[in-house]
């Protein structure tokens, strides 16, 4: 079989391919199911053999469309990350990529809680399900990433039952790793000279518009039912704008949590977590610590710059007039120093292991000559070898974790509709300008190259 075929594996050895060698003239009489199966097993492939494929290969040896998937294992299912789940009756921001309409009426239904009330529960990370290679070797899953829940404003986290409780009455503000309970400052109608600028230590709720030139500074969430023009809003909490943002290239909104709006036009938005826009992002600067999502309605991002660390999702990016649109996915620099230190420790331990093994072999040879065995010394050396080997295994695992750390949460751009020409996409330090239209595409990094694939 070696003269006609070779076997290649991919997807972490979960798929084995039977490849016909170039120019090989196969003798069909010698390729039986039994001989082919025995040859495959001799290569160590024993798990999830595709018997139907093997029979098909044997029956159509010369005409089969190689390569053939002769064994298919199972990739691991990685664990889900820990989450802080709201308990109070509300409709908090949901971090998902589904095409769901944003109901702004629900976003303004702010839950009110009383002293000692349970407001959230931590959902622990899950372990995941292991996979298996075609060689029968298990593939361990990555455990879901944990989150450290911290005490918020007027809330306390109970480590024993993983609950978050209110230590005062007020309105609830949810973030990814803490919950705050604030008093609220309410403005009925628009901001005006009568109300002036707002600087408040809790939540701010404006039922009307925020005109140009006004400023809102809050410690909690800011909810605006109308429009935000060229105004300035600053808060470590969340910002929700029901009527949209008309920034005129002058205003700015900065929040530490999530930003949600009907649309953004010539605005400047910087959010510590996610930016979700229901209709469109036009000629704006948007920067999110996690994701930018624009999937409801037209779901169009055109003109300006959108920057995110995790992902950018939209129905359409760019437009038919080829407005210059910049999409940028941040990538963290790998932690080079820990890897370098780990490599040095591994090298030292490997050298020590070799010397210990040589010393053990020398003592055994001497004992054969002198007919005297120093059991105590040999046992000490074997114990040291065992400890050194365990240290090496641990260091290799740590090294692999560091190498995979930046890939645990993949970064990408997804366009469910049209990706137009003249859109410039950057991932880390790599850049690609879109030259032609793509329909329903995913953009991601692979081997230092930006790939655009159809979904």
Confidence band for 172, pLDDT divided at 50, 70 and 90? confident
Based on C-alpha coordinates, what's the Rg of the chain?
Answer: 30
| Whole-angstrom distance, CA of residue 225 vs CA of residue 191 | 12
| Whole-angstrom distance, CA of residue 413 vs CA of residue 18 | 34
On whether the CB atoms of residues 270 and 253 are closer than 8 A, the answer is yes
pLDDT in the model for residue 97: 40
Q: At 327, which helix (H) or strand (E)? A: strand 325-329
Give the list of residues 6+ apart from residue 334 with CB closer than 8 angstroms, or none: 402, 403, 405, 406
Rama region for 111: left / alpha / beta (φ>0; ψ in -120 to 50; rest): beta
3-state SS, residue 363 = helix
pLDDT in the model for residue 96: 41
For residue 69 the two structure tokens come to 């998937």
pLDDT in the model for residue 58: 84
Average pLDDT, integer, range 196-212? 91
Average pLDDT, integer, range 226-247? 94
| Whole-angstrom distance, CA of residue 264 vs CA of residue 340 | 45
3-state SS, residue 159 = coil
pLDDT in the model for residue 267: 94
- In this structure, what is the dihedral angle of CA atoms 98, 103, 107, 108, given to the nearest 10 degrees? 170
For residue 38 the two structure tokens come to 């025995």
pTM: 0.63
Sign of CA pseudo-dihedral 191, 194, 200, 205:
negative
CA distances from 112 to 119, 160, 184, 198 (A): 10, 25, 10, 22
CA distances from 97 to 102, 143, 166, 293, 296 (A): 13, 22, 31, 7, 11
Is the pLDDT reported for residue 91 higher than 70? no
Confidence band for 351, pLDDT divided at 50, 70 and 90? confident
Number of neighbours of residue 286 by Cβ within 10 angstroms = 24
3-state SS, residue 18 = strand
Phi, psi of 265 (to 5 degrees): -130, 115
CA distances from 211 to 164, 216, 233, 248, 271 (A): 37, 11, 12, 11, 21
Confidence band for 164, pLDDT divided at 50, 70 and 90? very high
Average pLDDT, integer, range 250-260? 93
Q: Which residues pair with 426 in a beta bridge?
A: 328, 431
Residue 278 CA to its chain's centroid (Å): 22
For residue 24 the two structure tokens come to 């090989």
Over residues 286-342, the pLDDT tens digits come to 999 999 999 888 899 999 999 999 899 999 999 988 889 999 998 755 444 555 566
Q: State what percent of residues in the chain have pLDDT above 90.
A: 42
pLDDT in the model for residue 340: 57
3-state SS, residue 354 = helix
Domain ranges of the chain: 5-72, 78-131+138-181, 186-332+414-454, 337-405
Give the list of residues 6+ apart from residue 449 with CB closer than 8 angstroms, or none: 430
Is the pLDDT reported for residue 133 higher than 70? yes
pLDDT in the model for residue 336: 47
Residue 44 CA to its chain's centroid (Å): 34
Number of neighbours of residue 444 by Cβ within 10 angstroms = 17
Confidence band for 244, pLDDT divided at 50, 70 and 90? very high
On whether the CB atoms of residues 238 and 259 are closer than 8 A, the answer is yes
- For all residues of the chain together, what is the average pLDDT? 85
Over residues 13-33, the pLDDT tens digits come to 899 998 888 777 777 788 888
pLDDT in the model for residue 325: 94
Over residues 393-439, the pLDDT tens digits come to 777 666 655 554 444 346 899 999 999 998 999 998 889 999 899 99
On whether the CB atoms of residues 240 and 257 are closer than 8 A, the answer is no
Residue 323 CA to its chain's centroid (Å): 29
Give the list of residues 6+ apart from residue 15 with CB closer than 8 angstroms, or none: 9, 69, 71, 72, 73, 134
On whether the CB atoms of residues 142 and 80 are closer than 8 A, the answer is no
Q: Render the burial of 119-132: b for 16+ CB within 10 Å, e for the rest.
A: bbbbeebeebeebb
């Amino acid at each position: 079989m070696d003269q006609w075929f070779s076997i290649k594996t991919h997807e972490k050895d979960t798929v084995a391919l039977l490849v016909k060698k170039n120019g090989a003239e196969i003798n069909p009489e010698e390729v039986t199911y039994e001989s082919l199966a025995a040859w495959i097993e001799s290569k160590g492939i024993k798990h999830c053999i595709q018997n139907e494929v093997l029979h098909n290969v044997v029956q159509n040896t010369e005409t089969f469309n190689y390569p053939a998937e002769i064994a298919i294992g199972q990739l691991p299912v990685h664990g889900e990350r820990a989450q802080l789940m709201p308990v109070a009756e509300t409709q908090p921001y949901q971090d998902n990529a589904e095409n769901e309409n944003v109901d702004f009426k629900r976003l303004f239904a702010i839950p009110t809680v009383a002293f000692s009330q349970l407001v959230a529960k931590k959902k622990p990370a899950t372990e995941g399900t292991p996979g298996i290679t075609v060689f029968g070797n298990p593939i361990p899953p990555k455990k879901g990433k944990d989150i450290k829940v911290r005490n918020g404003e007027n809330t306390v986290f109970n480590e024993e039952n993983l609950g978050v409780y209110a230590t005062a009455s007020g309105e609830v503000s949810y973030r990814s790793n803490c919950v705050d309970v604030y008093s609220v400052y309410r403005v009925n109608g628009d901001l005006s000279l009568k109300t002036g600028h707002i600087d408040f230590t809790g939540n701010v709720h404006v039922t009307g518009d925020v005109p140009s030139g006004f400023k809102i500074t809050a410690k909690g969430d800011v909810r605006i039912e109308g429009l935000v023009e060229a105004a300035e809003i600053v808060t470590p909490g969340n910002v929700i704008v029901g009527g949209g943002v008309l920034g005129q290239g002058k205003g700015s909104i900065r929040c530490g949590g999530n930003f949600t709006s009907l649309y953004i036009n010539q605005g400047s938005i910087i959010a510590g977590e996610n930016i979700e826009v229901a209709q469109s992002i036009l000629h704006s600067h948007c920067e999110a610590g996690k994701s930018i999502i624009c999937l409801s309605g037209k779901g169009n991002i055109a003109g300006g710059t959108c920057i995110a660390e995790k992902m950018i999702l939209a129905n359409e990016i760019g437009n038919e007039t080829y407005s210059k649109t910049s999409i940028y996915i941040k990538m963290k620099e790998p932690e080079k120093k820990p890897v370098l230190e780990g490599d040095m420790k591994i090298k030292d331990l490997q050298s020590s292991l070799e010397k210990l093994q040589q010393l053990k072999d020398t003592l055994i040879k001497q004992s054969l000559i002198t007919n005297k065995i120093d059991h105590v010394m040999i046992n000490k050396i074997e114990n040291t070898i065992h400890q050194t080997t365990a240290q090496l295994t641990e260091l290799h695992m740590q090294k692999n974790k560091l190498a995979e750390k930046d890939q645990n949460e993949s970064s990408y751009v997804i366009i469910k509709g049209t990706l137009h020409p003249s859109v410039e996409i950057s991932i880390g330090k790599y850049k690609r300008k879109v030259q032609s239209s793509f329909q329903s595409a995913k953009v991601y990094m692979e081997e230092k190259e930006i790939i655009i694939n159809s979904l």
